[in-house]
Amino acid sequence: MTKQILGIHHVTAICSDAQRNLEFYSGVLGLRLVKRTVNFDDPGSYHLYYGDSAGHPGTIMTFFAWPGAERGRIGSSQVGATAFTIPADSVSYWMARLREHGVSFEGPFERFGEQVLAFSDPDGMAVELVASSSASGIHSATLLESNEAATAALLTDTFGFKLVQKNGNRSRYALESSDPGSMVDVVESKSPVGRIAVGNIHHIAWRTPNDEQQLEWLRALPKLGYHPSDVRDRVYFHSIYFREPGGILFEIATDPPGFAFDESLEDLGSAIKLPPWLEGNRRQIEQVLPSLELPVKA
């Protein structure tokens, strides 16, 4: 069996206020809340998943909501930004929409032949919109590395990416795929190592098509000098975790079962869903979680 990485599965970040986060990513950026659940390792806090209408892998941005947590510091050994694809002719629309919602932005500026709008979410995390003919969803993510070479070797020799463009200290790697999330940028950064907390990306997850291939990765990674976790049941996918050479937390996540595992496509994100092992604590958990109101789409 040939192991495959199909692209980015999801990107997970940390926010301070779940309602404010929902109003920004769903209300302003128009992503669908596809799952309203809790952090399985910290069930007193929300874990919110956003994506396209069906929650396809490659379109997913997720957030741990940790009210009162300290602010993070951007630096090397982090995912520095997440970029979403917008239609190539929609830059003016998005500039007007961001202004309408009071979001300051930079651009449009050109990067590798595409127009980019860059701004921050309510917690100061970097977000980009890239006008592209690529499939809708995540366009790319930016990895900040003090030494590009070691991370580049993992991306190319192990994950199957190819270096396709380079400009200064930014290198773009891509898979031979038309799926969303098939590109990643590596920026060689001389800044100090960042501190991951509110306003930072916690980890980036890569797609593998099924459990069998994930087990192949679990067997292969130690032979390459990495130290993967055991398989974790995230209900909507199964995950293994390890640190890449620059220190960023990488996850390899399966495409199935998907977000319709415990609710219909029509009802995605409409109710708090808990994994089976936490159902017995539902009453206590729901008493702790703040209520959320879905924003009216404009």
- The whole-number pLDDT of residue 2 equals 73
Residue 298 is assigned to a structural domain of this protein: no
- The whole-number pLDDT of residue 295 equals 83
Residue 206 is assigned to a structural domain of this protein: yes
- The whole-number pLDDT of residue 294 equals 86
* Structural domain for 59, as ranges: 8-288
- The whole-number pLDDT of residue 13 equals 98
pLDDT in tens, the chain (298 residues): 578 999 999 999 999 999 999 999 999 999 999 999 999 999 999 999 999 999 999 999 999 999 999 999 999 999 999 999 999 999 999 999 999 999 999 999 999 999 999 999 999 999 999 999 888 999 999 999 999 999 999 999 999 999 999 999 999 999 999 999 999 999 999 899 999 999 999 999 999 999 999 999 999 999 999 999 999 999 999 999 999 999 999 999 999 999 999 999 999 999 999 999 999 999 999 999 999 998 866 5
CA proximity to 96, closest of 298, 242, 264:
298
Residue 89 is assigned to a structural domain of this protein: yes
- The whole-number pLDDT of residue 297 equals 62
Q: Is the dihedral of CA 255, 261, 265, 269 positive or negative?
A: negative
Q: Which long-range contacts (CB under 8 A, 24 or more apart) does 108-115 make?
A: 111/167, 111/170, 112/165, 112/167, 112/172, 115/88, 115/91
- The whole-number pLDDT of residue 166 equals 98
Residue 160 is assigned to a structural domain of this protein: yes
Reading the block at residue 83, the tokens are 């970029």
Residue 169 is assigned to a structural domain of this protein: yes
Number of domains the chain contains: 1
Residue 275, number of CB atoms within 10 A of its CB: 15
Query: CB–CB of 169/214 below 8 Å?
Result: no
Residue 295 is assigned to a structural domain of this protein: no
| CA distance linking residue 17 with residue 124, whole number of Å | 12
Residue 296 is assigned to a structural domain of this protein: no
CATH of the domain at 61: 3.10.180.10
- The whole-number pLDDT of residue 167 equals 97
Residue 269 is assigned to a structural domain of this protein: yes
Q: Which long-range contacts (CB under 8 A, 24 or more apart) does 157-165 make?
A: 158/224, 159/5, 159/206, 160/4, 160/5, 161/5, 165/112
Which neighbouring-strand residues pair with 38? 46
